[in-house]
Amino acid sequence: MKNWKKLRSEQGENLRIANVRFDTWKNPRNGVELKATVLEMTDWVNIVALTPEGKILVVKQFRLGTESVTIETPAGVMEEGEDSQVAAMRELAEETGYTTNDWTYLGWVEPNPAFQNNLCHQFLAKDIIRTHDTAQDEGEDIVFSEMTLDEVKNEIREGRMRNSLSLLTLSRVFDIWE
């Protein structure tokens, strides 16, 4: 399969969470031109954080897109030029007040390559301890708790934990589908 040829690109609106770009592409199979919308987004981080006892740290927060409270692993947006592990450490500390020196990079995924250009970097943080209060952004209202793997699996089975990036990051560490 061949890559498509980009014929032109124009910048659209600069939104708070993304820059909009309009690209015109030529399909090599049939020569048809297609105008596509691309959201230029900053990369993200997602963290499976484990206590010394092996409990999994989860966060609950209201999500505007689904208009519901979700249960997720700690996560966040990287700052421009920020190293992914530095971002993961910052996000874990800001959202929960937990820190650790035991970090493992699990890899990265493309959250939605159909129209986004960003990556989600995934980390395992072991032996986390609560070292300070949270420093949540003004748009955040996060509550965190520690859960056993069985409790997390139950939340998944019952449909209460359904954030795809959290589930994928968890699945890199545990067999959450058994």
Q: Which positions are catalytic?
A: 138
DSSP string, 53-100: T-PEEEEEEEETTTTEEEEE--EEEPPTT--HHHHHHHHHHHHHSEE-
- Gyration radius from the chain CA atoms: 19
Strands of the sheet with 5-14, listed across from one edge: 5-14, 19-26, 33-40
Residue listed under structure tokens 């890899």: 107
Contact 72, 166 (CB under 8 A): yes
Residue 4 DSSP one-character state:
P
